[in-house]
Amino acid sequence: MKTKLTLTVQKRVIDRAKRYARRSGKSISQIFEELFEQSENPVIKTEAQHAAQRLLETLEGVKPVETLSDKELIRNYVARKYS
């Protein structure tokens, strides 16, 4: 059964919610419902947290960079300097 709910929030929050809903292709009601159906303790993430999560997911698939020991770095530096 669907029931109406009226919330009182700041205008900037409403604007952000509308932008987010438009980007995700869902209504604010759908987003609200999904948020509270996911778990009993919903986690609301900010845009920065979403960006950080996407960055971490991207970096997980990246091949690690090969590192050299300090001795190898010094040897390479000296070889370049005096060659």
Residue 31 CB partners (closer than 8 Å, separation 6+): 17, 20, 21, 24
pLDDT digits (tens, 9 = 90+) for 71-81: 999 999 999 99
Report the sign of the C-alpha dihedral through residues 10, 16, 17, 18, in that order.
positive
Q: What is the Cα–Cα distance from 44 to 67, expressed in whole angstroms? A: 38
Residue spans of the domains in the chain: they are 1-40
Phi, then psi, of 73 in degrees rounded to 5: -65, -45
Report the pLDDT value the prediction gives residue 38, as an integer from 0 to 100: 74
Mean pLDDT, the chain, whole residue set? 86
Residue 31: pLDDT over 90: no
| Percent of the chain surpassing pLDDT 70 | 93
17 touches 31 (CB < 8 A): yes
CATH of domain 1-40: 1.10.1220
List pLDDT tens digits, range 19-29. 999 998 999 99
